[in-house]
Every structure is written in structure tokens, then in C-alpha cells.
Structure 1
Amino acid sequence: MSRRSAGSVGIWAEMQRQQQRQMEAEARRRRDEARQARMDQRRAAQEYREFRQGEARRRTEEIEAQVAALQGLLGTGCQAPALRVASLMRPEVIAPFDPGPLAWPVRMPDQSQYQAQGGWTASRRAQAQAEARARFEQAWHAAQAAEAQRLQRLAAAQQEYERGAEAQRAEIRRHNAGLAEVTAGVRRGEPDSVVEYFSAALYASTSWPEGFPRQVAAAYDPAARQLVLDWEMPAYDVVPEAKSVRYVPAQDQDKETARPVSQRRALYREVLAQSMLLVVHQLFATDEHGVLDSVDLNGFVDAPDPATGRRTHIFLATVMAQRADFTGLHLEQVDPVSCLTDALRGQIATRPDQLTAVRPSRRPQDVGNHVVTHGGDEEPDLFAMDPIAFESLVADLFRAMGMQAVTTQRSNDGGVDVDATDPTPIRGGKIVVQVKRYRSTVPPTAVRDLYGTVQDCGANKGVLVTTSAFGPGSHTFARGKPLELISGAELVDLLHRHELRGRLGEGSRTAPTQTPPPAPGDDHNLLGMTWSGSVALDVCALVCRGNRVLSEEHFVFFNNPRTPDGSVQTEQAQAPDKAAIRVSFDALPREADRFVLVAAVDPEVNPGADLSGFTDACIRLLDPARTELGRLEVSDGRAGETALVLGSFRHRPNNDWDFVLGGKGYARGLEELLQDYGIEVE
């Protein structure tokens, strides 16, 4: 008994020792993990500190680079090539016709591949030969039909290419003729041509940094051979307020070292002087025809008047430069302020940061022939209105509608032109407004950008105001989102309802109810179709009123490649699209209120196929340069169906078109579908 007891004690003691060893091992593991965690934490803290210090250095380098660019503005600008009319001329170079797969003839069947099979008796051999001959003839006729269809499509594609190429050549000729006309007017010293030419030179200049304004009012005095200009200058905030940035680890914050006020003011004054000299330099350098003997230039900023608080033009610099005096200067080596005030006897505000104004010697309105005019007793043309004034007008409209609204700074505005607040409880809140003074349709990318701005700013709503209109892609994207799109016609109506003034182009006080349709090809969209699967489809279009096509000629497919007015045409598809339709929505017939897209299995290519292989389909909305503006998803096909309504673009009361998804399928193919739309197929 005593030995058994001792044995039990030994086993128990061994178990205790094993448990003790496990506990010690676990304790060592925890100590090692804690030590490793402390090391990782110190390493992470070191990496974080180095990252923040690197970011602070990067921000300092950006500030220094910005200051260096401002200090070298005149020298850099003088090295840029001057505008020459010859560089604006477009060569009549048109891309050659590319038929794509249509260039390859359909392979004809080889009769040697259709030999009689079997036949031990003469009658059976004759029957087998007849069957082989019948198979060959059937294949030959099918290939002949496919080749005829290819040739027909190739001819249609060639004809469409020729129409497009001629339209491009005509546009190039109009462009070059316009340049030639302006150049001839400049040679003759015609004020309108001179002003247009030199204003374009300033606008097109590559010398100005991003964010610098380019607003100009100009007039030409032919008797004095003098160009008189008001030119907008950058505001005081163009000079960085910070001098450097450093990271303070104890506070885990970046700390900016402020630039001394005297240094910032001196640099801003230097920037203004450089800008004045650079404008005069560009004008004389662009004067190929020697029509300028002098330039009278006034530099202003658009800012609130310190006395009244109202936004106005405050002139900070002025100079009258004679060509003979100016061309003798070595601008790369001068002190800009001394050159402007001493050598050219101009004026510049001593404290431009405080908006102390100077008095211009001569203004464009003293001469006439204005390039930029707005206001007065006449209803202002929104197209011709100065961009800043247009933004202010939109802000006035929001205020007239009972909201608080202010225009933003022109630089670093984060994509917001007007900040508005609707004080209405529940549905009110912050509104960001973007303003697009366009003549052509606003692309959907602008609407998507506005949506991103709304999200970034945490706003309740985004409003996009334009002088033109919005296409189907824009309305499709905006649906269901906190976005509101205001077209030009709606803007004019809102202005007049709130006793404000504005019109769209020449004409009466009120905007036209419908924009005159452009000529086909001037403003159009391409609708490209993509899908998965190998099924061959014919994509067709119907121009309808309600559920009835306007006429058989308004059913566009490969045998009728365009409507009578050319507003809808088949187009040669380019990858990744498998089919394409070209449509000018503004040029569709007035009675049309629907534009329907359909797809049907090509029975000659895929006999017996259905739409079960038609998946992952979408319509790509493209601009004339084939840049993608948006995508419209469509329904997949179903087994047993051979034709499908992809969707329809529907005309809305505001003259825009939006997309409504289709999905109705037809078992008896295109024939049954067309009967639904009023076309009898024989």
C-alpha cells in the first residue's frame, strides 16, 4: 500500500511541475509579446512622426515653390512664345475611312467540302449527291446573302464617313476663314477686329499661373493707334499667408510660421507690377501687323469696396506704355515695381493689400468698341455677361428667393461658386451652387463633379445653374440624388419671376420656349451598345410620339441608316461597343417625344438563337469625340425571346430628355416588336 501511495504522489507531483512549467512559459510569452508590442508602438510612433515631419516639409516646399513662381512670373512669361495666327490654323487632315470587320468579304463555301456520303447502290449514290449539292447550294445562297448585306453595310458606312468627313472639312474651313477675316480686319485697323485679336491673345496665353483671373474689357482708338484695357489682377490671397510649416510632436499638430505682413505686401505689390508688365509685353509681342503704338492698361481686382461693402472693380495699378519706350527694356533684369513706376511713369497702390486705389488715366468706355459689356437699360445677355457678374446675379436670385447666399472666392473655392443657406425648417440647410455659362449641353461629368462636391462639403443639396441645357445622361445620374438642375430657359423664367433681369442671346425679354434645333452633326451624342455573349444583334432606333413611330422612315436600322432629317443615324461601332446609334436630341422632330432603342437577334447570322446570351448590357453615352459621358444599364435578355426594348429617352416639359429603362421582350422577334409601335411588316 505504501508503494502505491508513493506512486500516486509522484504522479501528482509531476503533474504539478508540468503545470508550473506551462505557467512559466505562458508568462514568458506574454512578456515577449508585451515587449514586442512596445517596440512596434515605438516604431509606429517614430514612423508617424517622420511621416508628419515629411508632410510638413512637403507643405513648406509647396509654399516656397509658389512664392518662387510668383517672383519669377515676368521672367517666365517673357520666355513663352507669342500668339501667332498661323499656329491657330487647322490643317484639313481627316482620318481615313476604316471599315473594320466590314472590309473582309464573306468566305464562300468550297464545293469540295460537300461530297456525297455513302451509297452502295446507284440510286443511293445519286440521292447522296443530290443531298450534298442541296447543302452546298443552301450554304452558297446564305453566304451570298451575307456578302450582299456586308456590301450594303459597307456602302452605308462609307457614305456616313463621307458625310462626316465633309462636315469636319467644312468646320475647319469655317474656322480658318474666321481667323483670316479677323487678321484682315486687324491689318486694316478695324477696332472690333483689333480688340477681338488682342483679347484672344491674352486669354490664350500660357504665361499665367493656374487660378489667375483673365477678365478683360478693351477698346481700340484707331486715331491714336492705342489699345485701352481694364485687366483683372490676382487678389491679395495669391501670396501665401504662411512662410513655412513644421510639425510639433508634443501637440501632434502642424504649426504654420506666418509670413511677415511687410514681406507679404511687398511680394503682392511685385506680383501686380509683374502682371502689368507682362500684359503689355504680350500685347506688343503679339502685334504682328504693327497696329499698336501704345497700350493704356488699368489693373483691377474684383472685391468689396471698403467704403460701401459692395463688390466693384478697384484699380490698383495703371500705366500708359509707348512701344518705343517699352521695347527698349530688358524685362528679365528689371525690378518690376521700379520699372513700372519710374521707367514707364505708371502708378501702383502703395498698400494694395488694403485696396487703396489709383486713378486710371483712360478707360475703355472713354473710347468705345467694348468687348465686355453688361447692364445698362438693356436686358443683359447672360451669354455675354462677365463670369463674376453672372455668379453675382445667381446669388441675387437665391437671395430674392428668401435664402442667404454669397459668392465664393475665385480660387480655392472647392468647386463652389455660390454658398447658399435655406432657412426653411426641416427641408432647408446648406446648398452648394455651381454656375456654368455654356452654350452647348452641359456634360454629365459636371453633374457628377457637383455630387462629389455636395458629399465633400456635407451639404443638403447641390444646384447646377447653366445658360444652356442638360442631356439625358445628366438627368439619369441626378435622379434620386440631392441635386437640382436649372437650365437656361428655367433660369430666365426664375429671374423674371423675382424681378431680376437677363436674357439668352439676341431677342425678346423672355427666353424662347425651345432652343432652335442645330444642324445635324453640329451637336449630337453617340449611343454605344456593349454586351456579353456571342449572339449577333441588330440594334435599331425608333423616333416616336407616344407608343407609335412617326413613320416607317423614322425606324432606323441597317436597311434605313438615317431618318429623313438626319437627326438619327446608324454609326460604325468602335471597341468596346458592338453597335452604335448617333442622335441629335435637339434636332428631333417637334412632334417626337420618345426615342426608343431596341435589339433583335440577327436570324441570318444566328438562326435559332435567342436572347439568353444577351447579358451585362449597357448603353454608353458618348460625345462627338467618343468621350464617355455616362452609362445606362439595360435589362438582360431571356430564353425564348428574340427581340427586346432596351429603353427609351423621353422628352420632358423643360425640353430635356431622360432615360427610362425598358425590358419588354418578344418571342417572334423584331416583326412582333414593330407591330407594337405601329409598323406593319409584310
Structure 2
Amino acid sequence: MSRRSAGFVNTWAEAQRQYQRQIEAEQRRRREEARQARDYQRRAAQGHREYRQAEARRRTEELDAQVATLQGLLTAGCQASAFRASSLMRVEDIPPFDPGQLAWPVRMPDPNQYQAQGGWTANRRAQAQAEARSRFERDWHAAQAAEAQRQQQLAAAQRDYDQRAEAQRAEVRRHNAGITEATAGVRRGDPESLVEYFSAALYSSTAWPEDFPRQVVAAFDSAARQLVLEWELPGYDVVPEAKSVRYVPAQDQDKETARPVTQRRALYREVLAQSVLLVLHQLFAADEYGILDSVALNGFVDAHDPATGRRAHIFLATVMAQREAFIDLHLEQVDATSCLTEALRGQLTTRPDQLTSVRPSRQPQDVGNHVVTHGGGEEEPDLYDMDPIAFESLVADLFRAMGMQAVTTQRSNDGGVDVDALDPTPIRGGKIIVQVKRYRNTVPPTAVRDLYGTVQDIGANKGVLVTTSGYGPGSHTFARGKPLELISGTELVDLLHRHGLRGRLGEGGRPAPAQPAPSGPATPPDDYNVLGMTWSGSVALDVCALVCRGNRVLSEEHFVFFNNLQTPDGSVRAVPAATPDKAAIRVSFDALPEDADRFVLVAAVDPEVNPDADLSDFTDACIRLLDPARTELGRLEVSDGRPGETALVLGSFRHRPNGDWDFVLGGKGYSGGLEQLVQDYGIEVE
């Protein structure tokens, strides 16, 4: 008994120990997993914290770099090369003609490769020889035709190259002749030529940061040999408001340390003084003919006047500098503020942050001759009113200012190309064709498609469409993923100003409100049908149409509704309904785009007329198929509406392989109205 009892107890005890070991092992496993999880979270937190700390340091370094650039503005500017008119001269650097694959003649077939095969009898051998000769003659004629085509294409390419090369040479010669003429005017002391020359010296300088303004109003006093000008200075926000950035782990956010007001004011005042001295340095350094005896300079900011609240030129610095006194200064070593106010006897505002102005010295309008303005919006040419040829030349000037070779094309046989450009940048550069549209209305998508076709025909690397107006969503959708770039009017003006050119859009530099341009054909297709929509009930509906491939609309312009009354090609149009119809859509099935295989009709409650209605009152509906004379050809029944639904797919015409369009009844309803419905067809609703 005792032994049996001991064995039972031992067995039970061993089982308990085994169970306890399993529990302890499970507990150890869970503790290890918890420890690993804590380690992972700690490492993740550490990594996140280190990243945020590094990002805060990077932002602080950027702020320090901005301040260093501002503090070294004058020193860096004095190290830049002096402006010379010769730097504006262009070289006739025409790349040689490159025919590409057209340079290689088509290989002619070798008669030795066309030997007769087989033939045990004389007749069979003769037949085989005749077949071999026939194959040779066929291939030889095909090769001759291909060679003739190659030679024609080569000759056309050579002519095109010669025309473009000659146009580029002629434009370079015209440009250089203009520079030579302007330089002669400078030597003669012609006031207008001098103002243009010294304005170019300021605009072409690489010493000014990209975000600094470049607006000048100037006149030249021939009797005093003095250039009188007003130059726009940077605003107070050019000095960063933040001094540093640090990461606060407890709040998991960055905290900016503000730059002390006195420090920010002092730095801004120093920037103003450096800017004035740098303008004087650039003007005297550019005076290679010894024209200037002195310069009267007034520095202003374009801001709201604290006294009137109106935007005005507020003068923050003024100086009249004599050449003899200025050229003796060592600008790299001076304190800019002291140099301006003491050595040159100029004036500099003491509270620039509060726009406390100084009294300007002599101003351009005091000189008496014509005052020339550059960079300001009021005197810039209105792009809307510009001569078309001058507008194309301005766009070509912009591309050249951006570092490309660009010439305007001849007015005839230009193939839809207004400017030929060549981007010399390796890898991403190449031939660029440019079309310009001096429009006030939105550019239709057809213009973008035409440009893409020209890019493909010519084999250009990119096509650029430049307009004074804008583009609709259909144009941007078509251009996406293609070697096309669309530049709107506001973007064009920004690019012009950034590269020292002038141009504005309408009064005050604001673009005129763009209106959709008619995009349909001038003469509608004669072969069409009218789809009249009729139903019982008093609910007001919008009947719309979508031109689709499968269940996706071709583009937003192929969705015909109350804000887009026709497709770009005019094949589908919303038209007034005639009794008994309540809505009507006109469609020319044969004129629909080739890639369209479905024409979908939908209806939706008009929320402006019946904001609380649904389609429960939409009954006894049908589509009447009419000819151009509105004679009924047949009726297509559609589903009734259902309570809670506010939009319904009436049905779709589907293109069959035999060319017919068959009607398929719809019936899918939507509670979210027309917006929810069109999203199913790929239209993004903002």
C-alpha cells in the first residue's frame, strides 16, 4: 500500500512539477516577448526622436544659412564679374545636321540569296527558278521604294534643318545687331540707351538671391552725367522670424525660438544697406565707357503705407554717390550701415520693421526726360494686347533666358510650331517644340491633343503649350504621363519676372476671367439622332450623357451635363427639348471617338429645384429616338425610379463588332445623386 501510495504521489507530484515548469516556461516566454516589444518600442521611439531631432537641426541649419547669405550679400556681390555689353552677344553655335537612321541607305537584296530550291525535273527546276526570280524582283522593288522614300525623308529633314539653322543664324545676327546698336547709343550718351544698359547690368547680376525683387525706375541726366533711379528692396520677411528649431519629445512637436526683435531689425537694416551699396557697385563697375559721374539712388519697398493703408512705394534708403568717392571704398571690409550713412552721407531708416520712411533725394521724374521702368506691373506690356509675332518672340526670349537655344519659326509651313527650342542639358534635354496661344478663354483640350500629335510627328523630346489663359481638367488629364508641359498665363508671368523679362495679364497684372472656349466643330455633323427623354411626375431632373470605353468615361470633357453642354468634337450635345420631351441629347454615333464603345444616359434630381425630392415620382419614362427633323423612329423603355434614390442609369448604347449600337437597359440607382454616380465612371469629384 505504502509503495503504491508513494508511486501515485510521485506520479502526481511529477505531473504537477511538469505543469509548473510549463507555466513558468510560458511566463518566461511572455516576459521575453514583452521585453522584446519594449525594446522595439524604445528603439522605434529612439529612432523617431533621433529623426525629429535631426530634422530640427536641419531646419536650424537652413535658418543659419539664410542669415549667412544675407550677411554676406555685399561681399559675394563684389566678387561677381562686372557686367559688359559683350556678355549679351550670342554665338552662332548651330549643331551639325544629324540625319540619324536616315543616313543609312536601304540594303538591296543579294541575287545570290535567291537561288532556286529543289526541282527533280526540268519543268520543276524552271518553275523554282522563276519563283526565286519573282521573290528577288519583289524584294528588290520593295527595297528600291524604301530607298526612294528614305532619300525623300532625308532631303526633307535636310531642308528643315537648313531652314531652322538659317532662322537661328538670322535671329542671332538680329540680336547681336541690336546689342551693337544699343552699345553705340551708350557711347553717344543717349539717355534711353543708358537706362536700358544699366538696367540690364542690374537684372543680369547673379549676386541677388532668387527671392529678391528686381524693379527699377530710372532716368539719365545728361548735363550732370548722373543716373537717377529707384530700386526695390527686399521686404522685412526676408529675415527669418525664427532663430532656431528644437524638438520637444514630451509633446512630440517642433518648437521655434523666435529671433529677438532688435536682432531681426538690425539684420534687416544691414541687408538694406548692403543692397544699396551693391547696386552702386554694380552700376559703377558696369560703366566701362566712363559715362557716370554720380548716381542718385532711392531704395523702396512696395508695401501698404501705415498712414493711408494703401499700397505705395515707401523709401527706406537714399544716397547720392560720386564716382571718385565710391571707387575708393573697400566694400568687402566695410560695415555696410556705417559706410552708407557716414562715408557716403546717405540716409537709412532707423525702424525699417515699422516702415518708417526717409525723404528721397533726386527722383527720376525730376530729370525731365523720359523715365524708363522695368520690372513693375503698371508699365509692363499687356500680353493680351501684344502683337502675335512679338508674343512669340517674348516666349523665345524666355526659353533663352532659361538656358536653352530657341528661335521663332517662319509664319508659313511651321507645322503648328511657333518656337523651336533645344535644351542642352544631358539626359533630360533635347528638342522642344513650343506652341503659344494668346487666348482669353480656356484652351480647349483639342489644342493639347494637336500638340501631342505634332510632338510624335516631329520626334521631339517634349512639347510645351504656353497661353495667356488657362487649361481645363481635361487638358491636364490628357497631358498626364506624356512629354507635354502646359504653362498657364499666371505661370508665364511668373517665369518672365523670374528671368528678368516683362509682361502682365490685363489691368493691374490680373488675368481676365477665363471662359470655356467652344470646342465643337464649326459645322455640326448632319448625320445625328436626338434622344428625347420623357417621364411622368413633376420631379425636375438633369439628363446627362457619358461617352465611355467600358465603364470609364474617356475624359471629363466627354461628360455632357449642365456645366458642359457638348463634347470636344461636338458629337454629343445637350439641346433644347421639344414637346412631349422634357430633356434632349443629340448624338452622332458615327462621329463618336474611335476608342468609345459605350454611350451612357443618366438622370439625376436637380437639387436646386427639388432639394428634398427622390426618384419615386419618376415613372412611365422612355427615350424617344428621333431623326434630325424630330420624327420619332422608336421608343426605348427605361426603369422607374425608386424611393431614396436621387440618380439613375437609364441605359447605355453599346458598340457591336458589326458597327451597330444596341441599347442595353440600365436601372442602377444611387442615393448620393449625380456626384456618386459619375464617380463610378472614373470622374473625380472634389
TM value normalised by structure 1: 0.59
Q: Residues 299-314 of structure 1: matches in 2 within 5 Å? A: 299-314=299-314
For 1:157-207, what per-residue CA distance to the aligned partner results, in whole angstroms no more than 9, with x for missing partners?
111111111111111112111111111111111111111111111111111
Given the superposition, is the C-alpha separation of residues 53 and 116 from structure 1 closer, same or farther in structure 2, using an over 3 Å criterion?
closer
Once the two structures are TM-superposed, the CA of residue 234 in structure 1 deviates from its matched residue by: 1.1
Matched, 1:330 2:330: yes
Query: 2:376 is matched with which residue?
Result: 386
Q: Which amino acid aligns with 2:594?
A: K
Query: 1:360 is matched with which residue?
Result: 360
Distance in 2 between the 1:272 and 1:576 partners? Answer: 41
SS in 1 for 2:209: coil
Distance in 2 between the 1:370 and 1:127 partners? Answer: 93
Q: Which amino acid aligns with 2:376?
A: D
Once the two structures are TM-superposed, the CA of residue 281 in structure 1 deviates from its matched residue by: 0.4
Query: 2:74 is matched with which residue?
Result: 74
Structure with higher Rg: it is 2
For 1:360-384, what per-residue CA distance to the aligned partner results, in whole angstroms no more than 9, with x for missing partners?
12111112455555xxxxxxxxxx8
Distance in 2 between the 1:316 and 1:20 partners? Answer: 86
Query: 2:122 is matched with which residue?
Result: 122
Distance in 1 between the 2:109 and 2:457 partners? Answer: 40
Question: Is 2:433–2:462's contact at 8 Å kept on the other side of the alignment?
Answer: no
Given the superposition, is the C-alpha separation of residues 194 and 597 from structure 1 closer, same or farther in structure 2, using an over 3 Å criterion?
closer
Given the superposition, is the C-alpha separation of residues 249 and 621 from structure 1 closer, same or farther in structure 2, using an over 3 Å criterion?
farther
Given the superposition, is the C-alpha separation of residues 517 and 99 from structure 1 closer, same or farther in structure 2, using an over 3 Å criterion?
same
Matched, 1:664 2:654: no
Q: Which amino acid aligns with 2:247?
A: Y
Once the two structures are TM-superposed, the CA of residue 224 in structure 1 deviates from its matched residue by: 1.0
Given the superposition, is the C-alpha separation of residues 367 and 625 from structure 1 closer, same or farther in structure 2, using an over 3 Å criterion?
farther
Query: 2:495 is matched with which residue?
Result: none
Query: 2:90 is matched with which residue?
Result: 90
Once the two structures are TM-superposed, the CA of residue 86 in structure 1 deviates from its matched residue by: 1.6
Distance in 1 between the 2:460 and 2:174 partners? Answer: 19
Question: Is 1:567–1:583's contact at 8 Å kept on the other side of the alignment?
Answer: no
For 1:188-240, what per-residue CA distance to the aligned partner results, in whole angstroms no more than 9, with x for missing partners?
11111111111111111111122111111111111111100100111122222
Query: 1:169 is matched with which residue?
Result: 169
Q: Residues 128-527 of structure 1: matches in 2 within 5 Å? A: 128-370=128-370, 372=372, 386-387=376-377, 468=383, 488=384, 504-505=385-386
Query: 2:634 is matched with which residue?
Result: none
Once the two structures are TM-superposed, the CA of residue 60 in structure 1 deviates from its matched residue by: 2.2
Q: Which amino acid aligns with 2:181?
A: E
Question: Is 2:416–2:454's contact at 8 Å kept on the other side of the alignment?
Answer: no
Distance in 1 between the 2:392 and 2:57 partners? Answer: 56
Given the superposition, is the C-alpha separation of residues 46 and 127 from structure 1 closer, same or farther in structure 2, using an over 3 Å criterion?
closer
Matched, 1:40 2:30: no
SS in 1 for 2:138: helix
Distance in 2 between the 1:336 and 1:248 partners? Answer: 38
Q: Which amino acid aligns with 1:133?
A: R
Aligned length: 464
SS in 2 for 1:358: coil
Distance in 2 between the 1:519 and 1:77 partners? Answer: 34
SS in 1 for 2:47: helix
Given the superposition, is the C-alpha separation of residues 71 and 49 from structure 1 closer, same or farther in structure 2, using an over 3 Å criterion?
same
Matched, 1:54 2:44: no
Query: 1:103 is matched with which residue?
Result: 103
Q: Which amino acid aligns with 1:41?
A: Q
Query: 1:408 is matched with which residue?
Result: none
Matched, 1:24 2:24: yes
Question: Is 1:568–1:582's contact at 8 Å kept on the other side of the alignment?
Answer: no
Once the two structures are TM-superposed, the CA of residue 270 in structure 1 deviates from its matched residue by: 1.4
Once the two structures are TM-superposed, the CA of residue 311 in structure 1 deviates from its matched residue by: 1.0
Once the two structures are TM-superposed, the CA of residue 145 in structure 1 deviates from its matched residue by: 0.8
Distance in 2 between the 1:563 and 1:197 partners? Answer: 31
Given the superposition, is the C-alpha separation of residues 625 and 347 from structure 1 closer, same or farther in structure 2, using an over 3 Å criterion?
farther
Given the superposition, is the C-alpha separation of residues 626 and 213 from structure 1 closer, same or farther in structure 2, using an over 3 Å criterion?
same
SS in 1 for 2:359: coil
Once the two structures are TM-superposed, the CA of residue 596 in structure 1 deviates from its matched residue by: 11
SS in 2 for 1:28: helix
Given the superposition, is the C-alpha separation of residues 25 and 189 from structure 1 closer, same or farther in structure 2, using an over 3 Å criterion?
same
Distance in 1 between the 2:479 and 2:46 partners? Answer: 49
Once the two structures are TM-superposed, the CA of residue 628 in structure 1 deviates from its matched residue by: 5.0
Question: Is 2:455–2:461's contact at 8 Å kept on the other side of the alignment?
Answer: no
Given the superposition, is the C-alpha separation of residues 243 and 583 from structure 1 closer, same or farther in structure 2, using an over 3 Å criterion?
closer
Matched, 1:112 2:108: no
Distance in 1 between the 2:445 and 2:41 partners? Answer: 67
Given the superposition, is the C-alpha separation of residues 344 and 595 from structure 1 closer, same or farther in structure 2, using an over 3 Å criterion?
closer
Given the superposition, is the C-alpha separation of residues 77 and 179 from structure 1 closer, same or farther in structure 2, using an over 3 Å criterion?
same
Question: Is 2:365–2:371's contact at 8 Å kept on the other side of the alignment?
Answer: no
SS in 1 for 2:183: helix
Name stretches of at least 5 consecutive residues in structure 2 with no aligned partner: 398-409, 439-443, 465-475, 481-515, 523-556, 558-566, 570-591, 596-686
Give the percent of matched residue pairs that are identical in Structure 1 and Structure 2. Answer: 66
For 1:341-400, what per-residue CA distance to the aligned partner results, in whole angstroms no more than 9, with x for missing partners?
111111111212211111112111112455555xxxxxxxxxx8824x69xxxxxxxxxx
Given the superposition, is the C-alpha separation of residues 144 and 7 from structure 1 closer, same or farther in structure 2, using an over 3 Å criterion?
farther
TM value normalised by structure 2: 0.59
For 1:251-303, what per-residue CA distance to the aligned partner results, in whole angstroms no more than 9, with x for missing partners?
33333333222222222211111111110000000111111111000001111
Distance in 2 between the 1:654 and 1:119 partners? Answer: 67
